[in-house]
Amino acid sequence: MRPGRSLACSIWSGFATQRACLATATGTGTGVWTPESKRTGVIGIKIGMTGLWDEWGVRHPVTVLKMEDVQVVQARPSEHEPGMVQLQTGAVNQLPQRVPKPMLGHFSKAGVSPKKRLHSFQVTEDAQLPVGTVLDASHFVPGQYVDVQAPR
More reliable by pLDDT, 144 or 28:
144
Amino acid at 99: V
The confidence score (pLDDT) of residue 31 equals: 57
The CB-side HSE value for 18 (13 A sphere, CA atoms) comes to 17
Asked if the model's pLDDT at residue 10 lies above 60, the reply is: no
CB atoms within 10 A of CB 83: 9
What is the arithmetic mean of pLDDT over 92-102? 94
CA pair distance 83, 68, nearest whole angstrom: 30
Whether the predicted model's global pTM rises above the 0.85 cut = no
The confidence score (pLDDT) of residue 34 equals: 78
CA pair distance 127, 111, nearest whole angstrom: 21
What is the arithmetic mean of pLDDT over 78-107? 93
The domains found in the chain, sorted by start residue, are: 5-147 (3.30.160.810)
pLDDT in tens, 45-73: 889 999 999 999 999 998 888 999 999 99
Residue 130 DSSP label: -
CA pair distance 136, 30, nearest whole angstrom: 16
More reliable by pLDDT, 64 or 12:
64
Which residues are within 8 A (CB) of 21 and not within 5 positions of it... i.e. 6 or more apart? 8, 137, 140, 141, 142, 144, 145, 146
Average pLDDT, the chain: 78
CB atoms within 10 A of CB 140: 26
> How sure is the predictor about 80, in pLDDT bands with cuts at 50, 70 and 90?
confident
